[in-house]
Structure 1
């Protein structure tokens, strides 16, 4: 598949052990359309047999990591007309994208500038480390759109932030999480000056790249297996739940309010 929105550059840093993946749609919004998600899902396959790369950095544009799922994408809007089985199948693209990044053998780092919203946040919590610019902010808007937060992200956020902060971030969907809060909540590991997220991630990646590759991979695998051992138990139905909430009146109200730029009124049905 030809990649329109994602570029991969390998062979950087010490002994060429660092790669940078740039997701940039050229509009400073960087929404996750179906095409964009398929491209991002397939990137980890480039590294499956790559024993030379130790670290992969994922970054967006200079002003935006991602605005999340593209509600204006014609392909995405088709799901409202699909049968339930087809909706469930279509909904699996996001979770598979995130799982592919989590399962990479290489150490992964997100370099975040600007907004990181919804599916963008789901993607970055699938990586090993997150660095962001001081003006970056995060938001999890799914509940306010009348749906649940899915893509397997709840267990990952829980592992990073703990129960209370995860509930706060997801349930209070209108609240922006600024960079200082994100650091305090352990959603990110480091906050740097604007425009420095990628250079800082590169410096950190260089330190990892100088370590012996085999035990680095072994360490990541061991930590991830322990930290995420129960993820499937917690998240195996979140795609189904997303389809279910997508059939509610509240979902129609939430997405309509988003497009019409007004506050939604939910009725619990």
Structure 2
């Protein structure tokens, strides 16, 4: 009996194929939006997978039509309306904790992305080692146009993958980056025909599983340490920046404009 794979998960589905584990987001009623329950399950499964020596590769995927609509906006607004800043500050660690848990899995992690991958889902995807995208997939960070900063400790990873200028473009403008642009900029490692991302990710996983596991894990740890050498110093306050931004008039205007499908009118307040 394997407690990880035999456990009853509500918002994710786990399967295993020899030394490869597949984790599928399974909240179809909300387009796999990352609410507290889904994030908690994704964090817990990553923590359980972290040091397993019998799992050599982990695939993270959504559905054939979409990866995830990103962080649940209603949950974010509920946190912003809490009376206690201290409680809100604690609550918004769920996203960073999720990404950290996936970064710390010792096995190689591969995100298979079809359709849209938005906001917090992008932060989760770039916490994996590799990303494979279907040709019609895209990634988008809508936070800044909505009056928020991009948080979840994701900026160092985006800069490491794409460089400063492209990371600024990607984060500031909130525009969709299609699969080909993601490949060119470094956010994706392979683009395949639409609907084939999971099959391609399985090929990546099988390639990894055929390698000697010890040097693979040591290489992953060393490269991540080099790439993130200054990450903590540069991004440790991003949740406090989010708390500030989410209490601004521009944030309220950004959300209202999004819902009313109109351009926002921002004043820096």
TM-score (norm 2): 0.94
- Give the superposition deviation at 1:234: 1.2
1:240 corresponds to 2:240? yes
Indicate the residue corresponding to 1:207 in structure 2: 207
Q: Return the alpha-carbon distance in structure 1 between the equivalents of residues 257 and 8 of structure 2.
A: 35
Q: What is the aligned counterpart of 2:39 among 26, 37, 53?
A: 37
Partners of 1:112 and 1:131 within 8 A in 2: yes
Alpha-carbon displacement from aligned partner over 1:83-126 (angstroms, at most 9, x marks no partner) = 21111111110000001101110100000000011001111111
Q: Return the alpha-carbon distance in structure 1 between the equivalents of residues 243 and 35 of structure 2.
A: 17
Partners of 1:183 and 1:191 within 8 A in 2: yes
Q: Return the alpha-carbon distance in structure 1 between the equivalents of residues 59 and 15 of structure 2.
A: 10
Q: What is the aligned counterpart of 1:9 among 15, 30, 41?
A: 15
Indicate the residue corresponding to 1:187 in structure 2: 187
Q: Return the alpha-carbon distance in structure 1 between the equivalents of residues 232 and 152 of structure 2.
A: 11
Residues 2/248 of structure 1: CA separation in 2 closer, same or farther (3 Å cut): farther
Partners of 1:139 and 1:177 within 8 A in 2: yes
Q: Return the alpha-carbon distance in structure 1 between the equivalents of residues 96 and 109 of structure 2.
A: 17
Q: Return the alpha-carbon distance in structure 2 between the equivalents of residues 248 and 203 of structure 1.
A: 46
- Give the superposition deviation at 1:79: 1.1
Alpha-carbon displacement from aligned partner over 1:99-155 (angstroms, at most 9, x marks no partner) = 110111010000000001100111111110000000001111000110100001100
Q: Return the alpha-carbon distance in structure 2 between the equivalents of residues 262 and 143 of structure 1.
A: 16
| Unpaired runs of at least 5, structure 1 | none
Alpha-carbon RMSD: 1.3
Indicate the residue corresponding to 1:112 in structure 2: 113
Indicate the residue corresponding to 2:20 in structure 1: 18
Q: Return the alpha-carbon distance in structure 2 between the equivalents of residues 152 and 216 of structure 1.
A: 25
Indicate the residue corresponding to 2:102 in structure 1: 101
SS at match of 1:111: strand
SS at match of 2:191: strand
Partners of 1:44 and 1:101 within 8 A in 2: yes
| Unpaired runs of at least 5, structure 2 | 1-6
Residues 185/87 of structure 1: CA separation in 2 closer, same or farther (3 Å cut): same
Q: Return the alpha-carbon distance in structure 1 between the equivalents of residues 209 and 199 of structure 2.
A: 15
